[in-house]
A and B are shown apart, each in its own frame.
Chain A
Amino acid sequence: MSSLDLTSSDVPAIVELHSAIETPENVVLTYRLAGPALRLWAYVIDTVIRGIVLFVAAIVAEISEMAIEGVPMGLWLVLLFLMEWGYFAIFEGFFRGKTIGKHAMSIRVIQEAGYPISFWSALMRNFLRAADMIPLYGIGFISAFTSGKFRRLGDLAAGTVVIEERKVQLPREPIILEKIQPLSRTDIGTYVPPHKTLTLIEEFLQRRFVVTHQRGHELAARLAAVLAKKLNFQGEANFVEEYPMAFLARVYVTFHRTMNNDADEIHDHHPDQRQQAVAGEAMFTSP
């Protein structure tokens, strides 16, 4: 929340989960980095797959040993080598940065500059697994948490990052808050909240069911308090503290027309505010 002062030194460092790049079209793209947990799961899936393939191949080799001595065993050992040194590199190099496990977790390896991973980079980042693995990926973890962008040594040398690929979805149209009454003109000063703040409220209202009511209340309270002060809100005492979400919704309804640069039409309503607020707050308790 940009409206809050977070410059005090007791705020813990924020882990940057995004990595921004500029494309040849001069557009800045942000990538959401895949965290260690997702990558670990992908690795577990890949390891199970490699294990199963080797196990099945071992049975097949065992059976065919009777027919041609030595050859199946030799091929199995070559397969073992490929699973250890080639599996990741081949998948990432030829399937645009995805192994089966990574695909399942919808994460992908890309070059830091945003391009698809090149063959040599895929080889590099996976050859260096041997160093990252010591002991139990300890080196990889230390590197991931100290180098920024969660890069293990292989990523650093290959210039790659692992990103999360979300499902692309158009956000829903902003909710129409017909049930919510705008704030009465007599209760507020001349302050008009900036675009940014209104957008923030809009986003918050759209996603209010993602969090529990209590958490939503907590999140809204801080912004509501700041806004009430700036607006010089003269309405009912305690309203802002008790119903911060409803208050935000009303602020939004009051000013959202300004977002579209229409003529400011701030209505003059003054029904029973308490009743309004309770009705408004009820909107946030159940989807």
Chain B
Amino acid sequence: MISKREYRRKRQADWTRFEALIHKVDNKGWKKLSGNDASQFSQLFREVCHDLSIVRTRDWGAGLTSYLNDLVTKGHNIFYKAPPTRSHDFFAFLSRGFPRIFRRNIGFFITAAAMFFLPLLITWIVVQNRPELATRILPVQQLDQMEDMYAEAEFEEFGTDRAAMGGFYVMNNVGIALRCFAMGVLLGTGTVYLLLTNGIVIGATFGYLIGKGHGENLLSFVVSHGSFELTAIAVAGGAGLMLGEAIVHPGQRTRIDSLRTRGLEAVQIAGGAAVMLMVAAMIEAFWSPAPIADEIKYTAGGMLWLLVILYLTLAGRGEEVA
């Protein structure tokens, strides 16, 4: 049997070469690598793997083992690099992947939508009939502020800081939706809580403002972006419930395994919901407050609702299932 020292002397040059190649790929990427280098890389990678097994089985010490282990680790990480994400993939995801995955898990969306829209509607109806009840849900200050905003005379001022408001809607609304998703990992409890509270708060706001007689201003304002925004919150909520369900009912898998497997679809749905909310933010900032006749806003709003429904139910249908 060859001695450790001899083995080292024989193989060291190759190890150093492999190290150099790793550095090359790390700094320049595969594209700039010559064909010769690339084939050398895979050849050396396999050899170093073999060296590692030998050094391990012969017990030639932790120093040498960990050195080779790290070489192989780095090589492995480079060799099995995930293909780069391109913009083309992004659009394919939005036009086909996301709606398909959404439909595959539509039950979760329906559950989340019920948790969000039912409290919203109930609170809306109750508060509209007795506006003073809104003070039990929201602080009086905030209610007064909103009333000022939607009061006839002030309403036009909305348009002045549109871009700033757009930024705020992105930060606030997408943040709420993503939190709705993330909290699902707490056995679904966080998602349920956020869906219920958001539903109640929005319902109370609507009910209060309509009860106080600002209905026209409010509804013409929210009808357009509400399509994307309210739906997407329920979509993200559904994704959150998927996480909770994966942990609570893992089936044949371990809970962690189940979370990881089902989580992949959940996070994709959440990503799609985030994009929907960004669209909503743009509509809310630049279209909703525009000084346009209410009839046009209602028509456009109706079409947007239809668009959201058609997108989620039809996009990516009929093609080869991914």
Contact = CB atoms under 8 A, between A and B. Distances in A.
A261 B5 CA distance: 12
A267 interface: no
Interface string B60-104: 111110110111111011001110010000000000000000000
Contacts of B238: none
A84 B175 contact: yes
Nearest to B63: A171
Contact of B267 (A120, A156, A206): A120
B313 interface: no
Contacts of B49: 23, 25, 27
Interface string A127-158: 11111000000010000000100000100111
B130 interface: no
A31 B70 CA distance: 8
B286 to A, nearest CB: 10
B211 to A, nearest CB: 31
Contacts of B52: 27
B167 A169 contact: no
B168 interface: yes
Contacts of B45: 25
Nearest to A80: B171
A77 B281 CA distance: 12
B181 interface: yes
A31 B77 CA distance: 12
Contact of A147 (B163, B181, B256): B256
A283 interface: no
Interface in B20-63: 45-46, 49, 52-53, 56, 58-63
B249 interface: no
Nearest to A81: B171
Interface in B264-296: 264, 267-268, 270-271, 285
B171 A131 contact: no
A262 B4 CA distance: 12
A68 to B, nearest CB: 8
B116 to A, nearest CB: 18
B15 interface: yes
A31 B3 CA distance: 27
Given A110-B77, A131-B186, A171 B259 contact: no
Contact of A260 (B5, B85, B182): B5
Given A77-B168, A174-B5, A120 B264 contact: yes
Contact of B263 (A76, A118, A157, A261): A157
B162 A116 contact: no
Interface string A80-102: 11001100000001101000000
Identify the interface centre among B46, B63, B81, B167: most chain A CB within 10 Å of its CB.
Answer: B167
Contact of A195 (B12, B59, B260): B59
Contact of B5 (A30, A31, A77, A173): A173
B322 interface: no
A131 B160 contact: no
A48 interface: no
Interface in A166-193: 166, 168-171, 173-174
A81 B77 contact: no
Interface string B2-26: 0111101000100100010000000
Interface string A179-217: 000000000000000011001001100100000000000
A66 to B, nearest CB: 14
Given A73-B164, A74-B162, 20 more contacts: A27-B49, A29-B76, A69-B160, A69-B161, A71-B163, A73-B163, A93-B85, A94-B85, A114-B76, A115-B82, A116-B82, A130-B179, A130-B182, A130-B183, A131-B190, A157-B263, A165-B74, A170-B15, A173-B8, A202-B61
13 contacts: A23-B72, A27-B72, A29-B76, A74-B161, A78-B170, A114-B77, A115-B80, A127-B182, A130-B183, A157-B259, A158-B263, A199-B61, A203-B63
In the complex, the 3 A-B pairs of residues with the closest C-beta atoms, listed nearest first: A77-B167, A171-B63, A74-B167
